[in-house]
Every structure is written in C-alpha cells, then in structure tokens.
A and B are shown apart, each in its own frame.
Chain A
Amino acid sequence: DPKIIQKPKYLVAVTGSEKILICEQYLGHNAMYWYRQSAKKPLEFMFSYSYQKLMDNQTASSRFQPQSSKKNHLDLQITALKPDDSATYFCASSQDLGGNTEVFFGKGTRLTVV
C-alpha cells in the first residue's frame, strides 16, 4: 500500500488558473517536503515543513503556497499558473528534518499547463 498518497496523478490546467496538489503521508513522519522536476532539470527542492511549520522555502515565486491542515498533510496551492510550471511535483516525508534521515517519496503529480 502506498504510504504517501498524492492526488491527482495527472493534471491539466489552463494558463492563469489555480490548482491544489494534495499530499498525505501515513508513515507518522514529522517532516514533509515538496520537490519539482521539469524536463532535463534536477529534482528541485521547493519547501520543507516540520511539525506543520514552514522550515525552508526555495521557491522564488509566491504563487506557490504550501498548506498543512494536519500533521500528515502538505498540500501545494499554485495560483496564476504558467506553462513553465509544467512539471512533475513530488511530495516527500522523513521522520525528522535534515539530510541524514531517509526520505520517502510519493509517486508524483504530473502537471501540464496549457
């Protein structure tokens, strides 16, 4: 059974619209993350949360807003969508924050902005 659930799996959106990417983890982890990967680019870190608090934000744009309604939820709201936002968005979690603990990933949401 998948321990990190991302919804939807595929998403097509119109330029200028707003979408929410859903992520829930059932691993009992304290830290959650969002990563993004566009074609030919590294898997890019976006946000990290620990105990529902934002710890690090590496996105340049305020159009990307994480939302944590529960400890095991970290949704990603994207407003005013642009074609350049087209990418696969991966949610991840780890027991605690940091670069020493194993990180577990969801299967990703592939977003296409037309």
Chain B
Amino acid sequence: GDSVTQTEGPVTVSESESLIINCTYSATSIAYPNLFWYVRYPGEGLQLLLKVITAGQKGSSRGFEATYNKETTSFHLQKASVQESDSAVYYCALGESQGGRALIFGTGTTVSVSP
C-alpha cells in the first residue's frame, strides 16, 4: 500500500546544531507522488513547511531543505543550524498529482531544540 515512514522521535538537539529527519515513502498506487513536510508548532495546527512535486528537485523553507529522491524513495528533511523556535512536530506526507485522494502522513517526529 501507500505509506510514509519517518524518524521516530523524540529528537533532541542543541541550538545551532544540525538536524535531519528521515522520511521514506511507498507509493504503490500513486503514479506521480507529491511529497510534503508539514510542521505543527506547540498549540497550533499543522501547516505546510515545504512541498516538492518533481523527482530530483529540492524544496526549501525557513532554512529547511528536502530533496525528492525517487531512487531511494526518500524525502529527508535537513537544517544546518536549528533554533529554539524550530521545536515542533514534523510530519512527512505523500500525495498524488492527479485524483482526489487526501494526503497520507507519517507518525510525526517531535523535535526539541535546547538553548
């Protein structure tokens, strides 16, 4: 089936350190997968962080980057230097370019950045 697997949390990093959250996907019934990272800050709803719809392309936002790798079916999220304000839950998600199905999400990874 179609699914998303991501790093199990919680992940704790110190401010200014680098962060990577792994995400792999399985898209057996989706011909042209779109990949997303959503973030949920404390007390807020999920919001889109970045999106990539073409294999081989990189998306970036707020210092985060993720590259859509079709060969390894991965979409890892990285940031070179995190800040305390990056403490949040990060969700990798899979969607399809055509058709009406809703997004498929991973479990979410809780990230805590210590000062």
Contacts and interface: CB of A to CB of B under 8 A. Distances in A.
Partners in one complex: yes
Contacts of B94: 99
Nearest to B107: A42
Contact of A48 (B46, B96, B100, B107): B100
B99 A106 contact: no
Interface residues of A, number: 28
B100 A56 contact: yes
A90 B101 contact: no
Contacts of B100: 48, 50, 55-56, 97-98
A100 B102 CA distance: 9
A35 interface: yes
A107 B47 contact: no
Interface string B83-115: 000000001001111111111111110000000
A90 B105 CA distance: 13
A89 B110 CA distance: 18
B51 interface: yes
A108 interface: yes
Contacts, number: 79
Given A35-B105, A42-B105, A56-B102, A102 B46 contact: no
B102 A99 contact: yes
Nearest to B3: A42
Contacts of A35: 102, 105
Nearest to B40: A105
Contacts of B71: none
A41 interface: yes
Nearest to A97: B100
Interface string A33-65: 101010011111100101000011000000000
B53 interface: yes
Contact of B91 (A4, A43, A97, A106): A43
What are the 7 tightest A-B residue pairs by CB atom distance, in nearest-first order? A99-B95, A43-B105, A105-B45, A105-B46, A97-B100, A99-B96, A107-B45
